[in-house]
Structure 1
Amino acid sequence: MRRTTTARRGLAAAALALTLGLSLAACSGDAGADPSASPSASSTSAASAADTAALAKVTVEGDAGAKPTVTLPSTPFTVTSLVARVVDEGTGAEITEGQTVSVHELAVSGTDGSAIGDTYSGTPESIVADDQLAPPLHDVLVGQKVGVRILIAAPGDSGTNVYFAEVVDAKDTPPVPARAEGEAVTPPAGLPTVTLDADGKPSITPLTTAAPTTLVSQTLIKGAGAPVTADQTLTVNYTGWLWDGTQFDSSWDTGDHATFALSGVIPGWTQGLTGQTVGSQVLLIIPPDLGYGATASGKIPANSTLVFVVDILAAS
């Protein structure tokens, strides 16, 4: 669950992981190069000609592998739809459908051109280059080569942001299991009862007692994988309920795993899943101060205690 809404892959891997991660998240030129000069510089046909032309005027300076300088032609910079283009083609191995790519990123505010954040001093973000990505991002990744540098402009509620991304690695994506697998753990008394159907989808029997005021992170199934670290990107299945048992979201219902940077979710998820092992199923009870606090979010009222059952399927 992201800081503002439940995590889903989609909008440019949620516009690459900077809106998403530094979330979705969470979802890159030689110095002095003219960005529009690249043979692959055009965006996909889904973007308007005006948006494509606008992104072509954004310039990138800096050497490959180093944090670049991204300059907008004017501010506020706006586009009406997600648009992406290649700035510099890579020289490494070809990026193929379904691979997991590691990308360094930098985000720039379209409002005033200021930097929002970047990953160059830390760990690259990971996204899967498949058809669950928004088409513009998919089209500037798949078929390109490691080292490709791209620009993305994404409109949002608070204005347009521009994202630079540089692919530093691409690896085949291990198959993701459908559910948690491992040793069952008997939880202590006093927690909502979790029941799994034949496919592993959870349901809960809520309690009528007062909700806990501190974070509960209870392992229900202990997976055999490595411990999760706070800087990783997770793939999970999950369901979320209010304390009274009202369900507000579930990846099981959509048939699609959720993928997100653990650094870009509500604090209860970051704290409660860090240290758990891959393959585990975890019951989280998150008090309001580690969730959305006094702010309502979608179907979640303000000051809500949240209950999640999370299957940790993969981490990268």
Structure 2
Amino acid sequence: MKHRTTAGLAAFALGSALVLTGCGDGDSSDSADASASPSASESGASAAPVVAGGVCEPEAAPEPSEAPEASEADQNAVDAVEVTGESGKKPEKVEFETPLAVEGLAVNVLDEGDGAELVEGDKITFHDYIVNGADGEQTNPSTWDEGQAPQTFTLGDPSYQVLNEPLTGLHVGARLTIAMQGMDGTTQVHVLDVMESETLPQRAEGAAVEPEEGLPAVELDGDGVPTVTIADGYEDPTELVVQPLIEGDGAEVTKEDEVTVQYLGCLLDGTSFDSSWSRSAPTSFPLNGVIPAWTDGLAGQKVGSQVLLVAPAAEAYGEDASAHELGGKTLVFVVDILAAEPAA
């Protein structure tokens, strides 16, 4: 599945699998609107029925895509970029000889930072200032600009291999310059400032809740990874089912929050179509930018909780099978809410 990703973070993404907004064409950009989930009234097409019954578990993650290696010329180019201004504040100037063009991913660490060390599994918050390699001009909004906000991702998420190796082992307060080809093939020069890191739990923790009878059954392994068993002949619900399985003791989630979660998504026949567990990293997104089942089903739950959602098509991607690959289908999710904070 694909979720909304701002232009800055999208530049670093290498094929994230999320599609919670209903944008299934593989494009992670601001063009994905928060209301992108298709409406049941858009078309009369319906999906082929799915026969209920099966066991769903996260599939093994594919090997992550590797960032293209920098040549000596690429590295020399990024080493020559001069950034004026204090780390942790918007750069005053970013200067280099133009045009600057690279074929690989070239990184220069200007300041290693003196805060907490960045380790795999941390939620990293950073600012990104981007200029065009051709002329040195700012062509994309900076996260420092008015109306913008710093970006977050989980260190180690294979969808962001471009950032994993450069940031691992640095510290909060680090500043880097990164030269790379953008999605349009032109060279971009990024100035990254690491503002915060947060160590998050990797699974829901709290008091077990006895589920209603007849729902898909959830079992957890020793690491908290879920397996969902859906009974033969399980009947599609006509309304969204929200069943807490673990009740955490954290803050109550609101629709205006950005949440960080682990999750497994299943069809009624037991097919797994997406899972953060497969990527070995939680994911974060604004709760008002996803399918209705998630917005309505997670709002009001507490951080630390695990929630079973059974979403009829109208609460997921609509009843029009032609509008989305998951259109017309009832979906089952097991969601661990690891953190929540007001979305920027």
Q: Is the aligned partner of 1:193 residue 2:204?
A: no
Q: Is the aligned partner of 1:168 residue 2:195?
A: yes
Asked if 2 retains the 8 angstrom alpha-carbon contact of 1:217 and 1:283, the reply is: yes
Structure 2 CA distance, aligned partners of 1:101 and 1:226? Answer: 21
Give TM-score, length-normalised by structure 1.
Answer: 0.61
Out of 141-150 and 115-124, give the one that drifted further.
Answer: 115-124
Unmatched segments (≥5 aa) in structure 1: 6-10, 23-43
Equivalent residue number for residue 36 of structure 2: none
Structure 2 CA distance, aligned partners of 1:287 and 1:70? Answer: 49
Larger radius of gyration: 2
Asked if 2 retains the 8 angstrom alpha-carbon contact of 1:240 and 1:248, the reply is: yes
Q: Is the aligned partner of 1:2 residue 2:2?
A: yes
Deviation string for 1:282-307 (max 9, x for gaps)? 123264675498554xxx44554432
Q: Is the aligned partner of 1:104 residue 2:105?
A: no
Structure 1 CA distance, aligned partners of 2:227 and 2:284? Answer: 20
Q: Which residue type is aligned with residue 178 of structure 2?
A: I
Asked if 2 retains the 8 angstrom alpha-carbon contact of 1:2 and 1:266, the reply is: no
Structure 1 CA distance, aligned partners of 2:289 and 2:148? Answer: 18
Q: Is the aligned partner of 1:246 residue 2:271?
A: yes
Cα 1:147–1:180, aligned 2, differ >3 Å: closer, same or farther?
closer
Equivalent residue number for residue 177 of structure 2: 151
Equivalent residue number for residue 37 of structure 1: none
Q: Is the aligned partner of 1:259 residue 2:247?
A: no
Deviation, 1:203, is 0.8
Structure 1 CA distance, aligned partners of 2:304 and 2:317? Answer: 24
Equivalent residue number for residue 118 of structure 1: 143
Between the two structures, name the one with larger relative contact order (CA 8 Å, sep ≥ 6): 2
Structure 2 CA distance, aligned partners of 1:54 and 1:15? Answer: 27
Structure 1 CA distance, aligned partners of 2:185 and 2:323? Answer: 21
Cα 1:90–1:178, aligned 2, differ >3 Å: closer, same or farther?
closer
Q: Is the aligned partner of 1:84 residue 2:110?
A: no
Deviation string for 1:211-241 (max 9, x for gaps)? 64x75544232222223455445141x2112
Structure 2 CA distance, aligned partners of 1:303 and 1:79? Answer: 45
Give TM-score, length-normalised by structure 2.
Answer: 0.57
Cα 1:308–1:139, aligned 2, differ >3 Å: closer, same or farther?
closer
Structure 1 CA distance, aligned partners of 2:283 and 2:193? Answer: 20
% identical aligned pairs: 31
Unmatched segments (≥5 aa) in structure 2: 6-10, 17-26, 31-66
Cα 1:125–1:54, aligned 2, differ >3 Å: closer, same or farther?
same
Deviation string for 1:63-98 (max 9, x for gaps)? 5444447689779x8754444333x41663363545
What is the SS of the residue equivalent to 1:115?
coil
Deviation, 1:184, is 0.4
Cα 1:136–1:126, aligned 2, differ >3 Å: closer, same or farther?
closer
Q: Is the aligned partner of 1:137 residue 2:160?
A: no
State how many pairs are aligned.
276
Equivalent residue number for residue 26 of structure 1: none
What is the SS of the residue equivalent to 1:282?
strand
Q: Which residue type is aligned with residue 70 of structure 2?
A: A
Q: Which residue type is aligned with residue 92 of structure 1?
A: D
Q: Is the aligned partner of 1:311 residue 2:336?
A: yes
